[in-house]
A and B are shown apart, each in its own frame.
Chain A
C-alpha cells in the first residue's frame, strides 16, 4: 500500500454494541475517532469522553449582540437620524423599543445556534473519506458505525481492527483516504 489509509470503520447492529465499543475505544486512549449513528444516542458523549458543546456560548454572544443591535438601531433612528417628537414622549422612549429589541435578540440567538452548529461541526463539507465506503451509507438508515483515523497515535492497522472486531463489530473495513 503506497498511500496511508484514512482509517478504519467498524459496523455495529445495535446502539448497545456501539456504546460498549465506544467505552472500550475511549479507555484504550484513542483521540481521533468518532461514532456515526442514524439518530442521536443520548449520553454517548460520556461513553466517548467528549466535553459539552460550546454552541451555547455562540448563542449567548450573538443573542445579546442582536438585542443590542436592535436597541441601537432604534436609538439611532429615533434620536440621531430622525429626531421627531411623538405624543410628547422623549426621543429615546426606550420602553416602547423593548419588543423590537427582544425580537432582534431572538434573531441573533437563532442565527448563533445555526451558525455555531455549522462552525463547530465543520459543515458544510464537500467530501469526506468516509463516503468512499459503500457500507457507510447505512449510517443514515439503521447501522451504527465507529471510525478511527489513521492519524491517531494509538492507531495500528491490525491491532485496531482486532480491537473493534472483539467488540462485536459485524464488519470492519479499511477506509481509503
Chain B
C-alpha cells in the first residue's frame, strides 16, 4: 500500500467511506498511483492479440460501409427497400437509433454530474466517447439518405449560387442544428475532461513521439489550482448546458415525426418518450461495451458491480417509462375517437408488422423487468444478455414507428409491405464498423477512465481534518 493511505486514520471498516459510510466506489482501496497505473496500462502495454483481431473485424465492417455508400452514390436510393408508402426506410431508423445511443453518454457525463452521482466517474469517459462515435454514425444517414450527398450543403444556411435559404420552420432544419451542435458540444465536453488525463500520459510517456503528441493535446496543463478553479467552473457550466441540450436533441428528433400529420406519428407524447427511449438504449450500449472492456483491460475494480447495479436500475426506470409510453399511445389512440389513429395502432400490434411490434415489446418492456432482482443486476451474464436485447428492442422501436405508420397509407390501394434489401443491411452493419473502429482505437490511445476524476472520489482524496466548513455545510461533494 502506498504512503498516501498510511497517514489517514483507519478507524472504519475498509470498504466504507469514512465520511459517507457508503461502500467505496472503487474496490480494493487503491492508491492514487494504482489508479494511474491501471488506466494507463492499455495505452502503454503491448496490445493483446484480441485487440488486433477486433480491429480487423471492425475495419472489415467499415469497408462494408464504404462499399455500400459507394454503390449508393453510383446507383441511387433504388438499392434500398424504400418504396412509395414507406419512403422513410432504414436510413431514418438507423439515424434515430444511433442518435439515441449517444444520449446515455451525455446523461452519465452531464446529468449525473449535476445530480452529484459520484459513481459516474468510472464510466463517464467511455460513455462520452460512445456518444461521439454514435453521433458520427448517426450523421452518416441524414447525409446520404437522399442518395446525393454532394447536395448536402443545401441543408446549411450558407450563401449559395441559387440565392436560396433553408426553411427554418421545418423540424428537419431544427434537427440539423440540434444534432450538429450536440456532436460539437459533446466533443468539447469530452476533450475538456481529457486534458488532465492527457497530461498524465504526457508525464509518463517513454518515447519522444508520445510525449509530443500527448503534450500537444494536453495544452501544457500543470494541474495548478488556479487552473482547476476555471476548469471546474467550465466543466460545471458545460454539464449545465449539455443537460437541456440532450433533452432538446431527441425532442427535436421526435418533432421530425410528431409535427407531421400522419396517424402514429402525430402525438404530443413523442418528445419525452423519445428522450427516455434514447437514454434507455444508450445505457444498454454502455453496459455492452463496459462488460467487455473492463475484463479485457483489467479494470474490474474500477468499473465494478456497484456501477452495473446502478446502470441496471436506470435501465429499469427508463425502460418502464418507455413501456408506459407505449401504453399511453394506445390509450390515446382509442380515447381520441380518431379512427385513423386507432387503426394505425391496431395495425401496429396486429397487422403485418406485428412480429416487429411484439419483438419491441418483449425486448424493451418485458425482459428488462429482471432488473427488479438484485441478483440479476449484479450478474455479468444477465447484464450482457439483457443489454443486447435492449439494443435490439430499441432498434425495432424506431423500425415500428417509421415503417408501420407509413406502410398502410390513407388509401388502401397504396398499401404495401416493406422488405429490406442486402444494401440496407450492409449499410447498417457498416455503421457498426465505423462505431467499433473508432471505439477500438479509443481504448488503445486515450485513457478510457477519467483518471483525475476517479482519484477525486477515492476516500483519501478528501481533506477531512482541518476544514469543517467544507464537509459540514456543503458536504465537500461534487466531482
Residues of chain A with a CB closer than 8 A to B248's CB: 99, 102-103, 106
Q: Supply 14 further A-B pairs (C-beta < 8 A) apart from A36-B223, A78-B165, A103-B181.
A: A16-B464, A34-B224, A36-B225, A41-B463, A46-B469, A53-B230, A77-B165, A99-B177, A103-B252, A106-B181, A110-B189, A113-B234, A117-B234, A125-B219
* Prevailing SS type, chain A contact patch: helix
Residues of chain A with a CB closer than 8 A to B2's CB: 142
* Prevailing SS type, chain B contact patch: helix
A118 adjacent to chain B (CB < 8 Å) = yes
Cβ 8 A contact of A52, one of B233, B252, B469, B476:
B233
Q: List 21 A-B contacts (CB under 8 A).
A: A20-B466, A38-B451, A40-B232, A41-B225, A41-B463, A43-B463, A46-B467, A47-B467, A55-B233, A56-B233, A87-B169, A103-B174, A106-B185, A106-B245, A107-B184, A113-B192, A113-B235, A113-B241, A128-B220, A138-B203, A142-B2
Convert B21-36 into 0s and 1s, putting 1 for each residue whose CB lies closer than 8 angstroms to a CB of A: 0000000000111001
Q: For the complex, give the distance between the alpha carbons of A25 and B354 in Å.
A: 72
Judge whether B469 and A43 touch: CB under 8 Å: yes
Q: For the complex, give the distance between the alpha carbons of A87 and B196 in Å.
A: 52
Q: Which residue of chain A is the closest to B164 with respect to CB atoms?
A: A82
Q: For the complex, give the distance between the alpha carbons of A52 and B466 in Å.
A: 21
Q: With contacts A78-B165, A100-B174, A110-B185 known, is A19 near B463, CB below 8 A? A: yes
A151 adjacent to chain B (CB < 8 Å) = no
Q: For the complex, give the distance between the alpha carbons of A46 and B467 in Å.
A: 10
Q: With contacts A107-B181, A114-B188 known, is A123 near B221, CB below 8 A? A: yes
- Stretch of B123-131, B144-152, B395-403, B454-462 lying at the A interface: B454-462
B128 vs chain A, min Cβ distance (A): 14
Q: For the complex, give the distance between the alpha carbons of A59 and B234 in Å.
A: 8
Q: For the complex, give the distance between the alpha carbons of A39 and B224 in Å.
A: 10
B178 adjacent to chain A (CB < 8 Å) = yes
Judge whether B470 and A43 touch: CB under 8 Å: yes
Residues of chain A with a CB closer than 8 A to B222's CB: 36, 128, 130-131, 136, 139
A10 adjacent to chain B (CB < 8 Å) = no
Residues of chain B with a CB closer than 8 A to A14's CB: 4, 7-8, 460
B173 adjacent to chain A (CB < 8 Å) = yes
B157 adjacent to chain A (CB < 8 Å) = yes
